[in-house]
Chain A
């Protein structure tokens, strides 16, 4: 068939498909279009045009049309409401358990330096200056000085909101960086885990040594359950990326990285949520000076238990019934 006859024969169906794609399928007249069928026909027509070596312009035009239809046919719908609920109740803890060894490694990378620095600064009053400037140490001490009537500075509810914004931007940013650094063969995640471990360990040890225990621990215990766990989990997700590059197994590196990033994101969505919860707690609960210390310690301990129980228990029944 000559090109001109070919065009005349199919022009109407092409324009119909075009108007359908432009109108997003809302047009009443074009709505009757059966997209998969139209797409298959179009593919066949493009193949024919190529085979018969019709002009480049026609082939380009058909290629554009195929591409647009292809986009519409294969548009992915991944956000379903049921999916989210299932993820929170089962998917997230399952993903964490499935990567238990990586999570354990990330915990060790965070906790061991923290322990070493904590014990170090507790016994040696100069060691804190290895990680902080004297000015920072002073402001840290004054923040948790039991002599102050309020924690930190003078606080009203608007200050709570300001601190909430600060924790969101700062803490979630840290967790995201800990994750993203993992793609550099895991080195970034290792760096941020160790760095945060050293820093927080030093703060814990120093504050305990100075004796501001009664203000510091009630403040950190509540949101710490979410925040510290989330940072370790973000580090573990980053390590997954890094491991796929260092030891890709039977896949090509690019494929291994792709698979690992899907697995890592199963952890990262939950991590993000935990950090938002942590920011809420830190801004509106941990800082309240009115609540008695014993209640804050009790609630804090309860939150730790809940978080651990969630990761250990949630979604187990589903796995056993499936297997």
Chain B
């Protein structure tokens, strides 16, 4: 239930992964969009006030377009992100993780009204919490999904350490543990890494800095470095 990872297998036999976004960031994103929309409408209202009754007509048309098609415009032409979604790192995609098409975007936004019923998006929120991937009714009908846009981490820059051959009988999981220690050297504090290295004292017979250096060297060897 807590696993929100969404997997799709492409025709190429590759599993694509994405994380479905829950109600809270989506509601916040909606609030941001609502703010922008209100801002635009207020601005238009002030400008069009000079055109009196005719301006009123244009304003009504604009408010109609903003109400129903503001999300459609951004979702299709701006990579699945309205300004609000962009602010929270969300994006709308088809459920095969391809960019959302016009038809799907229009469906999910027309059905917004049903999600709104009876008040304050109650139906939509209930639908979101019942489904595994937080799809509101509009998403279900359009076959769309709101996912987090993953920020790409920079390709690995590993610390320089002279490779050393590993001890015998190092099993696959142990090897992976060593490599991931090396890989996370920027995310963990030096002290914490030394603490982890100390856990292996019975095997390495080393402590603190020396132990960490040794483990890094072994990890570097495992990744393919040669002295």
Contacts and interface: CB of A to CB of B under 8 A. Distances in A.
Interface of A: 1-7, 11, 39-40, 43, 46-47, 53, 55-58, 60-61, 63-64, 66-67, 70-71, 74-76, 78-79, 156-166, 168-169, 172-173, 176-177, 179-184, 188, 241, 254, 257-258, 260-262, 265, 268
A168 B98 contact: no
Interface in B83-119: 96-99, 101-103, 106-107, 110-114, 117
Nearest to B123: A184
A160 B123 CA distance: 38
A262 B117 CA distance: 23
Contacts of B152: 60-61, 64
Contacts of B17: 63
In order of increasing CB-CB distance, the 3 nearest A-B pairs are A2-B224, A165-B60, A165-B57
B61 A169 contact: yes
B98 A162 contact: no
B223 A78 contact: no
Nearest to B101: A76
Contacts of A11: 155
Nearest to A261: B141
Contacts of A268: 106, 110
Given A176-B110, A180-B110, 16 more contacts: A55-B179, A56-B183, A58-B155, A66-B14, A70-B16, A71-B99, A158-B53, A162-B56, A165-B57, A165-B61, A172-B68, A176-B68, A180-B112, A180-B113, A181-B114, A257-B140
Contacts of A6: 224
Contacts of A161: 53-54, 57-58
Q: How large is the interface on B (under 10, 10 to 19, 20 to 34, 35 or more residues)?
A: 35 or more
20 contacts: A3-B179, A55-B183, A57-B156, A70-B16, A158-B52, A158-B57, A161-B53, A161-B54, A161-B57, A162-B57, A164-B57, A164-B61, A168-B64, A169-B61, A173-B68, A176-B68, A176-B113, A180-B110, A188-B117, A257-B140
